[in-house]
Structure 1
Amino acid sequence: MHIGVIYSRLRVEEKWIFNALKDRKISYERLLDSEAIFELTNPNFDWSRFDCILVRSISTSRGLVLTRILNSFGIPTINSHTVSEICSDKIATTIALKNKNIPQPKSLVAFTEKQAISAGEMIGYPYVVKPTIGSWGRLVNKVNDRDAAEAIFEHRKVLGNYQHHIYYLQELIEKPGRDIRAFVIGKKTPVAIYRESEHWLTNTALGAIATPCKVTPDLHEACQRAAEAVGGGVLAVDLLEDPNRGLLINEINHTMEFHSTAPLTGIDIPNLIIDHILQELK
């Protein structure tokens, strides 16, 4: 068995994964995505020597291209291109969850400033506007009134990327000063954390504090249903606690970070990922 790990930068998560592979005497190879060259019409590199490749690229677009190419070569990846493509796009994730009747915040999409304002008023102020692709809480805005909506949508119209011209709006959930990030690895939900903040955005990249969260049967079931809806694998599921509707799935991340969660909880996430890879290869 020979496993590849393709990555952008040697972060602490990658160090832990490499150490776990080494400790378990599993044959593996480090692959920097910045150094990769793919000849699409006639593969010029012996990819067949890999039984599986774990994709740890930081860039969403780069990771999607990598999984598309590797899967086309017949090389399994964690996660697959199909799963990665769904999770990387909030609209695709919303549709996948809706198709399985999984509770989530109300979400609308519009394509012009005028219709985006109308969509927001259908939800009611305040509401949230997000880019369809992105992470770490970047360009996520709370819209408190029409003046704010007009300003935000005008800015997005001027921004050059076509993705900013797709307006994804979501109801604002009155969460209790926190959200939940749970980690799904195959059929297991081994660990979860609360992300607590006085700010309405509860993302650790923006300063939220992580504390342990017990994985209850309800939380496990919600996470497993969400993961299955997008195709399963190694995923981070973000949930919101609604006072009336209970747990709502907010987003699903296909290249999860766990540098805070592993030391906080003592759960050996790198070895659980390796266990999952080995199980998938049986």
Structure 2
Amino acid sequence: MAATVAIVADRIAWEERQLIAAAPGLGLTIEWINDESLCLGRADAPVLARYDAILLRSRSYTRGGLIAGLAEETGARVVNTARAINLCENKAVLRSTLRAAGVPVPEFRLVLSRADFTRALADFGTPVVLKPVYGGMGKRVALIRDADTAHSVYDYVEDLGHAFEQACLVEPFLAGGASTRCLVIGDELIGAAEFTSGGDDWRNNAALGNTSRPAADTQEVAKLVNGVLDVLGPGIYGIDLFHTPDGFVVNEVNHAPGFRAVAQATGVDVAAAVGRYVHEVLS
């Protein structure tokens, strides 16, 4: 009998459609549950009772960890774990945790106020990148090239952002560097793609339509991926690396990664790899 899996997500995108379409051939039945409809809190969570596993793909950087934690309380098998998702959702905590484990990350400053921002600029100079602690898909990430515009940019954070959204990171801009997305399923690196910015947009992010090509699975990349897995445990992750003159650094880890760009660049069958991992989790 096929295992029944719930994809908990805010929407059905290309990745979810691929997984649902491939499910019968993988010995799975996969159904979508809107992450806004769960109303979790009961210890037995009847809304999840009929599922053998929960594949959490909420793209929200607040919902994922909350849902995973409450789902795990019911005894549900959740991919990824609540601990891993909570770490991935918070860029500052993730970077400090990885750094403590010996995994290289970009230098950064946590900015919670204009005073913090001023000190970060003094530390790094310009150009710098200003990005939200909570967020993904390249949204609200700003490149500040000149000191005379820096505080004007920060006005938007200070005046328009809610307190939650005002938590930011400032980091030096790595000029001219491509980024590499490593797609991990379980404890295996199944594919990697190098992204370069397209058109006038400087950001290297597949969600923004940047160009991609297969990336080499080097010993350095494998070591970094293993270091991340030592911290987070097995799961389904998009590990984003920055190229620097001194080697790669881990920029962030996505807990509900888009994998279209990696699949198209490398030809890897991501749905099959996810199916194998779900069966492994259930065994």
Give the TM-score normalised by the residue count of structure 2: 0.91
Match of 2:76 in 1: 75
Write the deviation string for residues 101-157 of structure 1: whole angstroms up to 9, x where unpaired: 111110111322023111222022111111101111111111223222211222211
What amino acid is the match of 1:115?
D
Q: Which amino acid aligns with 2:224?
A: A
Residue 261 of structure 1 corresponds to: 262
- Name the CA shift for 1:45/1:229 in 2 (closer, same or farther; >3 Å): same
* Equivalent residue, structure 2, for 1:185: 185
Cα deviation, residue 175, structure 1: 4.1
Structure 1 counterpart SS, 2:272: helix
The 5 A counterparts of 1:29-68 are 29-38=31-40, 40-41=41-42, 43=44, 45=46, 47-68=48-69
Deviation of 1:174 after TM superposition, in Å, equals 3.0
Partner of 2:234: 232
In 1, Cα distance between the equivalents of 2:281 and 2:206?
Answer: 31
Q: Which residue of 2 aligns with 1:166?
A: 167
Percent identity for Structure 1 against Structure 2: 23
Deviations 1:141-193 (A, max 9, x none): 112232222112222111241133323111212343x2111111122111000
- Structure 1 segment 202-221 matched on structure 2, within 5 A: 202-221=204-223
- Bigger Cα displacement from structure 2, 130-139 vs 18-27: 18-27
In structure 2, the partner of 1:84 is: 85
Question: Which deviations, in whole Å up to 9, do the C-alpha atoms of 1:187-230 show, x marking residues without a partner?
Answer: 21110001112543111222311111121222122122123223
Identify which of 240, 243, 255 aligns with 1:241: 243
Q: Is the 8 A contact 1:88 1:134 kept in 2?
A: yes
1:120: which partner in 2?
A: 121
Number of equivalent positions: 279
Aligned AA (2:10): S
The answer for unaligned runs of 5 or more in structure 2 is none
Q: In the TM superposition, what is the alpha-carbon distance from 1:46 to its structure 2 partner?
A: 5.8
Distance change in 2, residues 1:29/1:150 (3 Å): closer
Q: Does the 8 Å contact 1:175/1:240 carry over to 2?
A: no
1:22 maps to amino acid:
P
| Alpha-carbon distance between aligned partners in 1 of 2:135 and 2:36, rounded to the nearest angstrom | 20
Deviating 4+ runs (over 6 angstroms) = none
Q: 1:275 corresponds to which residue?
A: 276
Unpaired runs of 5+ residues, structure 1, are none
Following the alignment from structure 1 to structure 2, what is the Cα–Cα distance between the partners of residues 160 and 103?
A: 30
1:195–1:155 distance in 2 versus 1, CA, 3 Å? same
- AA partner of residue 134 (structure 1): G
> Does the 8 Å contact 2:4/2:53 carry over to 1?
yes
Q: Is the 8 A contact 1:2 1:50 kept in 2?
A: yes
Letter of the 1:193 counterpart: A
Task: Tell me, in whole angstroms, the C-alpha distance in 2 between the residues paired with 1:70 and 1:164.
Answer: 26
* SS of the residue 2:136 aligns to: coil
Name the CA shift for 1:151/1:46 in 2 (closer, same or farther; >3 Å).
Answer: closer
The question of whether the paired residues in 2 share the 8 Å contact of 1:175 and 1:241 is answered with: no
Shift of residue 43, structure 1, vs aligned partner = 3.6
> d(CA) in 2 for partners of 1:58 and 1:273?
18
Q: Name the counterpart of 1:150.
A: 151
